[in-house]
Amino acid sequence: MVKDNSTEQKILDAARSVFIQKGLDGARMQEIANEAGINKALLHYYFRSKDKLFDRIFSEAFDTISTGLGDVFSRDIPLMDKFKNFIDLYIDVLSKNPHLPVFVFGELSRNPERLQKGIEKNMNNIMGPFFIQMMQEVNLGRLRPIHPAHLMLNMIGMLVIPYVARPMIAPILKQHLNIDFQDILDERKEVIYKFISDALIIDEK
């Protein structure tokens, strides 16, 4: 039997939906088969185990998040331009895939080794030169000193947490301030970049 690309894509779409809702432990192959509109035997023909199917979904999810980061951080451009490009890229990706942070964080708490493999595969060669460039700017007196670890945590918090916390925050903003949460997300690029630049750049005046 020859595997059909359209059937495989149906399975991946169905698995993504089920895994996002229930995680690896809560998902069942029969549920995924039902969601894909196929029988369980056909599902096992394409993916022999739930773990293998989850590995594929998680790998694609992590690759989606990390897409473009190599280009952003490896380009020979000023550091603050890298920050701006990074913020723009991340928010664009998360706006199109708002489920990704919850999915990846859920797996992070359940199986950190899996995420570590993704980081080693996609990001180790990216972040080192970026941190070096940042410390050079600090040593030249252009940026205020900040530990790269704190900067990374601050960036992740500002970029990712709004999407994770959306189910809790959105109703509050709507009820008490009559603000649509998507409008807030649309403003994040400028708000985050201004926050980072105000915190880092030393005013030469």
Condensed to tens digits (0 to 9), the pLDDT of residues 112-129 reads 776 666 666 656 667 778
3-state SS, residue 171: helix
**pLDDT given at position 147:** 86
- Start and end residues for every CATH 1.10.357.10 domain found in the chain: 60-200
Cα dihedral 10→13→18→23 (10° resolution): 130
pLDDT band at 148 (very low <50, low <70, confident <90, very high): confident
Q: Is the pLDDT of residue 205 over 60?
A: no
Q: Nearest Cα to 115, choosing from 59, 51, 179, 175?
A: 59
**pLDDT given at position 204:** 59
- Start and end residues for every CATH 1.10.10.60 domain found in the chain: 5-48
Tell me the two tokens of residue 140: 């030249």
Q: What pTM, to 2 d.p., does this model score?
A: 0.77
Q: Is the pLDDT of residue 80 over 90?
A: yes
Q: Alpha-carbon distance 90 to 98, whole Å?
A: 11
**pLDDT given at position 119:** 63
**pLDDT given at position 158:** 93
Q: Is the pLDDT of residue 32 over 90?
A: yes
Placement of tokens 């990001």 in the chain = 123
Are 16 and 100 a contacting pair, CB within 8 Å?
A: no
3-state SS, residue 152: helix
DSSP state of 143: B
% residues pLDDT > 70 (the chain)? 91
CA distances to 73, 143, 155, 191, 201 from 197, rounded to whole Å, are 17, 9, 12, 10, 6
**pLDDT given at position 55:** 85
pLDDT band at 84 (very low <50, low <70, confident <90, very high): very high
Tell me the two tokens of residue 91: 């928010």
- Compute CA 72 distance to the chain's CA centroid, rounded to the nearest angstrom: 15
CATH number for 5-48: choose from 1.10.150.20, 1.10.10.60, 3.30.930.10, 3.90.1150.10: 1.10.10.60
Fold of 60-200: Tetracycline Repressor; domain 2 (1.10.357)
Q: State the burial class of residue 94 (Cβ atoms within 10 Å of its Cβ: 0-12, 13-18, 19+).
A: buried
Q: Is the pLDDT of residue 198 over 70?
A: yes
Q: Is the pLDDT of residue 2 over 60?
A: no
Q: Alpha-carbon distance 200 to 145, whole Å?
A: 8
Placement of tokens 């959105």 in the chain = 170
